[in-house]
Structure formats: C-alpha cells, structure tokens
Structure 1
C-alpha cells in the first residue's frame, strides 16, 4: 500500500519533545496550508482544550500524525525549517521521504524488538520483574525462567517502563493473557502475551515508542 502525503487542509496532530513531562504530552492540532517540493507549510499549532498557540523555533523537532483512510494513523518526524508571513503566519516544516511515514492500522499494530523493564503480577499475587523481547500495540513477549512458572491462559497485570527519545520515561499499565510459551535451549522460556484490557491512552504510549524505535532503525 503506497503511503500518501497529507493534502492541503488535512489536519495534523503534533507533539513537541520537551524535557518538561507535562509539555511533552500536550497534543496540538494544525492544518496543512500549502505544499512545497521539500516542505509543508502548516498553521501555528494550537492546543484545542485551551486555545493556546505553540511558539516554535527553527530546528524544533515535531512528532506528527495525520489520519488516512479507514482511520489509519500515519506517523512521521519532522523539524521546523522556518516561517512564512502571509495572511496568516505559517510554519515551514521538512517534508519527510515517503518511506519515513509509518502507518499504524487499528487492527495491525507495529511490533518492534525492545528490551524494556516489565513489572508483572499474576492472579495469585506473585510479583516479578522481567525484560521484554518485543513490544507492540497488541501485545508483548518477555523472557522468563522456571522460578516464575506460567501457563497458556494465565492472566497478568503488567506495568511497562517506556523510555522515549526525548529522555522522558512513561509507565503503561495493561492486563494481558499468556497465549504461548516457547521453551529455549538455555532453560529459559519466552512468554507471549496479548493485551486483553488496556486503555487507549496506555496503548498510544506503546505505539509512540514503537514508532520512535522503528524510525531509529530506518535511519541507522
């Protein structure tokens, strides 16, 4: 499926990496005003809840998504190139290559290899700490050993520590079910989980991490 660029008047949803945790979580809304060969011209991003405009500077990094057909979110990274004064002031941002735009489909979540810290509690109240093997918007897997026996069908409460590119860490909470156990030659096992109860906001934290990780892989 060919990835399409956003069109004039398409809405953009923008987050601006910041060392301030509360600011980094703010989502701003903007709109494509003009298209250039190497850039998009967008309206000054605005926080919908407060009407506050976001002051941007040349070089600022932006994490952006726009909605495609069927509710598919198209994510990309960009940065501010400059400004254009017209009837309204516009921000000129770098136009990414088409292969730098990642589609996140509702039922087909991106999954990436990642060793993240995961705190787990079983239905019996046993707690343990593990490292993930991979993570995605629909589930995760982690390494475990015989001291923490698990079986297919077990329900687990999980707290995932997510490190972002801007240096901030977030926790995502979810409930998951063990769907497969894979034994390794080392005597350890890999527990494969699917999410069975997760708030959309928690899932978005994970999807954001996966997007950042995939973006980093592509630019190595």
Structure 2
C-alpha cells in the first residue's frame, strides 16, 4: 500500500508502443502528495535522465511502480486524469485498485540467460582491481557474472556493479547498484569462474528497468521459438 510521501516510478513507451510503436521509453520519479478514493495525487514527475519536471497531459497512459513496505515491487497501469494547483502543481493519477497492482516478490523475480556488459568496482579503493565482464543471467534480484582470468574479488561482501541494458526501444539505460556477493563457482581450467550477486541497494526505477529487460528477452525468446 502506498503512503503519503512514498516514491512512485512512472514509465512511458511501455504501454504506448504496443499501440503506436513510436513512443520513446522514459522513466520519471514522483512522490505521492495525497490520495482520494481511487485517485493518487502526485507532484510533477521528474525525468530520471534530464532532471526536468514533466507536466503530463490529461489522458496520458503510463506504467507505474512502487516498492511496498514488504520490499516487494508493485506494478500497475494508470493514466493522468486531471491537473490541479494546490500549494504546488499536482497531477491526478488513476488508481486501478489493489487487485490491479501486480506484486513481484524478490525471490520470484524472473531470470533470463543474457550476456549484459558489466563493470565491477570495489566499494573501498584498492580492495581489488576493477574489471569489466558480462552476465550469464540476470533478474530483478541479482545476476550471475563471468569472472575474467586474472581478476580477483572477495569470497563475500559488497561490490559496486554497473550494467548497460540493450532495450528493444534502442535505449541503453545505465544501471548502477551495490550488490552482495553470494558465492563463487569454480569451473574447469579452460573456463572462467562464475560469481553470483544479489542487488542490495538499487533504485526502484533501475530494478524496474531490469525487470522490463528480462520480460523483453523472454518475449523475444518465445517469438523465436514460435517461428521455428
């Protein structure tokens, strides 16, 4: 359940592209100012990339998400149903109801096999030498990465990881998160080791972006399989 002051992530280009195919995918952040019955009252959304506020027009359809007190991610479809000026300009966002809020638990994040470029850095300078690598699989909760020959990371602890996600829209969002090292898996002498991580500190919008990437990859795999 959303509470006053909670952060809400809004995305364009997810619902519209199924209809028009030409909507740019962008991510915005806003806060819940008030609520009335089936309406969320939010401050003007801020574009995550440009930092500028965006007064969406009435009727604009969006995908919204927020993290509940149970730390699960909730996603729902919505639209702008009005604009008002209180102490500050606000937008009225339709709340489709709790039954329309799709709950995604951390342990239930869908995972997809995909090679996403990644960069790994220590939290404390000098703890180990930073390196670039790629994922073997990724989900909204974590990833498995290849450990290049000669690269060293601790058996446990936290690291800083960055990803570049190649989205269907052509966008290349850059995701940076702190992650906990879960375990290292030894391979044969001819293969790199693998280490798995769990995202420990990640922005809601970034986690949602990864989830969207996973969904796109799964859909592409299903289309490919159906065409065989």
Which TM-score band applies after superposition, normalised by the shorter structure?
Answer: 0.5 to 0.7
Residue in structure 2 matching 1:162, options 135, 146, 165: 165
C-alpha root-mean-square deviation of aligned residues, in Å? Answer: 3.3
Residues 101-122 of structure 1: CA deviation (Å, up to 9, x unaligned): xx76222111111101001102
Q: Which residue of 2 aligns with 1:106?
A: 105
Residue in structure 2 matching 1:206, options 192, 196, 210: 210
Q: Which residue of 1 aligns with 2:118?
A: 118
**What secondary structure, in the 3-state scheme, does the structure 1 residue paired with 2:165 have?**
strand
TM-score computed with the length of structure 1 as normaliser: 0.58
TM-score computed with the length of structure 2 as normaliser: 0.56
- Give the conservation status (yes or no) of the 8 Å contact 1:153–1:177: yes
1:66/1:175 Cα in 2 relative to 1: closer, same or farther (>3 Å)?
closer
Distance in 1 (CA, whole Å) between partners of 2:65 and 2:128 is 42
1:146/1:172 Cα in 2 relative to 1: closer, same or farther (>3 Å)?
same
Q: Which residue of 2 aligns with 1:15?
A: 12
- Work out whether 1:52 is the aligned partner of 2:49: no
Q: Which residue of 1 aligns with 2:38?
A: none
Q: How many Å apart are 1:204 and its aligned residue?
A: 1.0
Unaligned runs of 5+ in 1: 1-12, 28-47, 56-61, 77-102
Residue in structure 1 matching 2:184, options 181, 185, 209: 181
Moved >6 Å (runs of 4+): none
